[in-house]
Amino acid sequence: MNIVETPVPFPRIAIIGPGLLGGSIALALRERSPQTVVTMWARRSDAVAAAEKIAHFASTEIGDVVADADLVILCVPIGAMRALAKALAPFLKPSALVTDVGSVKAPVVSELAPVLGSQFIGSHPMAGSEQAGLEAARADLFQNAACLVTPDSSDPVATDTVSAFWTALGCRVFSLSPAGHDQAVAWVSHLPHLTAAALVDLVATKNADALRLCGNGFRDTTRVAAGPAEMWTGIALANREPLQTAVEAMIEKLGEIAKLLAANDPDAMNRFLSAAQCAREQL
Amino acid sequence: MNIVETPVPFPRIAIIGPGLLGGSIALALRERSPQTVVTMWARRSDAVAAAEKIAHFASTEIGDVVADADLVILCVPIGAMRALAKALAPFLKPSALVTDVGSVKAPVVSELAPVLGSQFIGSHPMAGSEQAGLEAARADLFQNAACLVTPDSSDPVATDTVSAFWTALGCRVFSLSPAGHDQAVAWVSHLPHLTAAALVDLVATKNADALRLCGNGFRDTTRVAAGPAEMWTGIALANREPLQTAVEAMIEKLGEIAKLLAANDPDAMNRFLSAAQCAREQL
């Protein structure tokens, strides 16, 4: 079988922010598309030194980093995106596209569209981990990960080109509206994060001794809660309306489960757990 | 460094039930203590045929399986233990000990103590997986797993010997009262299972399309929900009082989180997520 790899559709790519995702994009490009010129921006000069090891050029001067780029990727916390978009906009080539890796899309699109116009197309590669920073970056982070591209008023050709970029990095690309994205990730990412954090916080408070007994089940169920608190605070609050709906639905579902326990009803409990088992096995 | 392995303190061991745990004990003994004679009981004759491949002797006749055993291990669902204990009791050597691998201890101890007296000491090796059955059995299943031994009116020497058996299989052994055990596992095992099942059931109901987008976070957070529904129904209902307390505490905690979202308060949300991050990193 011949595997035809999608080529990276941009000759020059600027990565804004040398964290886990920015660093992993640089490493993936070096491995999959060594002819692509990668530039990186970092806020601090010690981070520039680290970025220089994986990019062709790195600097704290954002104009120098984006001036020749065909694609600019914002890989910073969502709260920092607007100021950086404003800072880089005057240096962009008219043909350049800008995307991001933020975990929430409607607020990001509504903040960046006025600054970057139709040059901006939001993306969300769902490939993080509980680790953070350039040290944790890996060339294969995007392999088989879902990447959600969220065109709004964006040009369809530009959207296709950004999608092709993520495909070239190994992602399975899906297209959703920004609001549809935020609904979906509230359920499959943000609610699971808050639930994991609630579980670990609860056990630490109510029965801390039990933590030394925990097995792989507890470890897996709560792994994401070790993710960077500040980043997740920004994500949760930026997506607070869909997330509040999801948290309230979870409270209701747990209320139903408490009733099943109180009723001591094996048939009803088995129906609930069988439905969950079946849904989980289909993943 | 010389690693001194704990020897298996029983020359003959009978395993009642050839599932994931029973099969894994047999495989672990064959690897770590080939001189130990292992017998296995199975309900069905096709299961006896499979058990014969990993034990020295297997049968559907429980008397033949336990007659010469120095340790008998009940590896069946908790609902089936009492009837099997009654069936095997008349064949036990007076010096034999009996333990089990059930996930709930107070109900098991109160059911088996009248049948087996001080010959019974409850155990709970916390080494399952979402898989089940002999096909999933592994010799290293117990390596580094916590095993909770729950002496009640049991003889201290017998308790030490059962503990030494689990240590010989690679477990980290802890001793708790049956009630203390049930409290602890309600928090670190049973609540996480119900929470994972609630999450996957909720997403399948509310936004099934989002399931195809899910990343490793959702997969890990919900992995345990793929465990056998019938077994988990038995566990949840046998431990329903401590578990109801835990589910209600989880509902209260999620209610606090919903308030943090509604208040859009980054400092309070960050305090909550930082505490959870810190607790999870300490695991």
Provide DSSP, A214-279.
Answer: --HHHHHHHGGGGS-HHHHHHHHHHTHHHHHHHHHHHHHHHHHHHHHHHHT-HHHHHHHHHHHHHH
Looking at chain A, which residue has its C-alpha nearest residue B79? A266
Tokens of A61: 């001067």
Q: What's residue B132's pLDDT?
A: 79
Q: Cα separation of B13 and B94, whole Å?
A: 15
Q: Is the ipTM of this complex over 0.90?
A: no
Looking at chain B, which residue has its C-alpha nearest residue A129? B217
- How far, rounded to the nearest angstrom, does the alpha carbon of residue B6 sit from its chain's CA centroid? 22
Q: Cα separation of A216 and B128, whole Å?
A: 8
Q: Is B132 on the interface with A (CB under 8 A)?
A: no
Q: What's residue A4's pLDDT?
A: 54
Tokens of B188: 């670190």
Q: Cα separation of A135 and B121, whole Å?
A: 48
Looking at chain A, which residue has its C-alpha nearest residue B271? A229
CA distance to partner chain A, nearest, from residue B123 (Å): 13
Q: Is A283 on the interface with B (CB under 8 A)?
A: yes
**3-state SS class at A255:** helix
**Burial degree of A37 (CB within 10 A; 0-12, 13-18, 19+):** middle
Q: Is B191 on the interface with A (CB under 8 A)?
A: yes
Q: Is A173 on the interface with B (CB under 8 A)?
A: no
**B230 close to A275: Cβ distance less than 8 angstroms:** no
Which positions of chain B have pLDDT values less than 70?
1-4, 129-130
Q: What's residue A86's pLDDT?
A: 97
pTM: 0.87
Q: Is A187 on the interface with B (CB under 8 A)?
A: yes
CA distance to partner chain B, nearest, from residue A134 (Å): 19
- Which of A207, A232, A274 has its CB closest to that of B187? A207
Contacts of A251 in chain B (CB under 8 A): 251, 254-255, 258
Looking at chain B, which residue has its C-alpha nearest residue A243? B261
B239-268 residues touching A, CB cutoff 8 A: 240, 243-244, 246-251, 253-255, 257-258, 261-262, 264, 266
pLDDT digits (tens, 9 = 90+) for B207-235: 998 988 888 889 999 999 999 999 899 99
- Which amino acid belongs to residue A33? S
- Which amino acid belongs to residue B134? L
Contact B189 A218 (CB under 8 A): yes
Q: Cα separation of A233 and B266, whole Å?
A: 6
Q: Is A46 on the interface with B (CB under 8 A)?
A: no
Q: Cα separation of B37 and B31, whole Å?
A: 12
Enumerate the β-bridge partners of residue B41: B16, B59
Q: What's residue A216's pLDDT?
A: 85
Q: What's residue A129's pLDDT?
A: 67
Q: Cα separation of A244 and A246, whole Å?
A: 5
Interface test with B, best of A253, A259, A271, A278 (most B CBs within 10 A): A253
Contact B196 A221 (CB under 8 A): yes
Q: Is B80 on the interface with A (CB under 8 A)?
A: no
CA distances B88 to B72, B85, B114, Å, are 9, 5, 14
Contacts of A212 in chain B (CB under 8 A): 146, 174
- Which of A210, A224, A233 has its CB closest to that of B217? A224
**B152 close to B178: Cβ distance less than 8 angstroms:** yes
Phi, psi of B9 (to 5 degrees): -85, 15
CA distances B191 to B109, B180, B242, Å, are 22, 16, 10
Q: What is the DSSP letter of A128?
A: -
Q: What's residue A212's pLDDT?
A: 86
Phi, psi of B248 (to 5 degrees): -70, -35
Q: What's residue A179's pLDDT?
A: 96
Give the pairing type, strands B122-125 and B97-100.
unpaired
**B73 close to B100: Cβ distance less than 8 angstroms:** yes
**A81 close to A114: Cβ distance less than 8 angstroms:** no
Which positions of chain A have pLDDT values less than 70?
1-4, 129-130
Q: What is the DSSP letter of A18?
A: -
**A198 close to A173: Cβ distance less than 8 angstroms:** no
Q: Cα separation of A192 and A198, whole Å?
A: 10
Contact B201 A127 (CB under 8 A): no
CA distances B259 to A202, A206, A240, B263, B275, Å, are 17, 21, 11, 6, 17
Contacts of B231 in chain A (CB under 8 A): none
Phi, psi of A40 (to 5 degrees): -135, 140
Q: What's residue B129's pLDDT?
A: 67
- Which of B145, B207, B247 has its CB closest to that of A261? B247
**A243 close to A190: Cβ distance less than 8 angstroms:** yes
- How far, rounded to the nearest angstrom, does the alpha carbon of residue B57 sit from its chain's CA centroid? 25
B210-239 residues touching A, CB cutoff 8 A: 210-230, 232-234, 236-237
Q: Is A193 on the interface with B (CB under 8 A)?
A: yes
**B76 close to B102: Cβ distance less than 8 angstroms:** no
